[in-house]
Amino acid sequence: MRRRTPAGLVEAEPGPAHHIEFDGRPVPALPGQSIAAALWADGVLAWRTTRVGGKPRGAFCGIGACFDCLATVDGRPNQRTCLLPAEPGTTVTTQEGHGRADLAV
């Protein structure tokens, strides 16, 4: 039986894969894929911890409404990974708490 995929249904042929970096390791990504989608596709389910209790969080709504997918992207904390494209060379790090550990708040 042939496996149906979203790309197959619309007869899309994405360009060659590239890599982003997540917590120091390469993660494959396709052109047009969001950071959250690339992480999910690689088996990464959490890339943030909550301010209170340190509970793991990742993508929840996938459309930028819930803020669960926040991460530090290219040194900028609190970036919604479901809305940002996984560009070649993008660096993503797990965000702890409010993402401002370097600030005296």
pLDDT value at residue 104: 45
Above pLDDT 90, what percent of the chain? 55
- Going through the chain in order, the beta strands assigned E by DSSP cover 18-22, 25-29, 48-49, 56-57, 70-73, 76-80, 91-93
- At the topology level, CATH places domain 26-93 in Ubiquitin-like (UB roll) (3.10.20)
Give the total residue count for the chain: 105
Query: pLDDT (tens digit, 9 = 90+) per residue, 26-39?
Result: 999 999 899 999 99
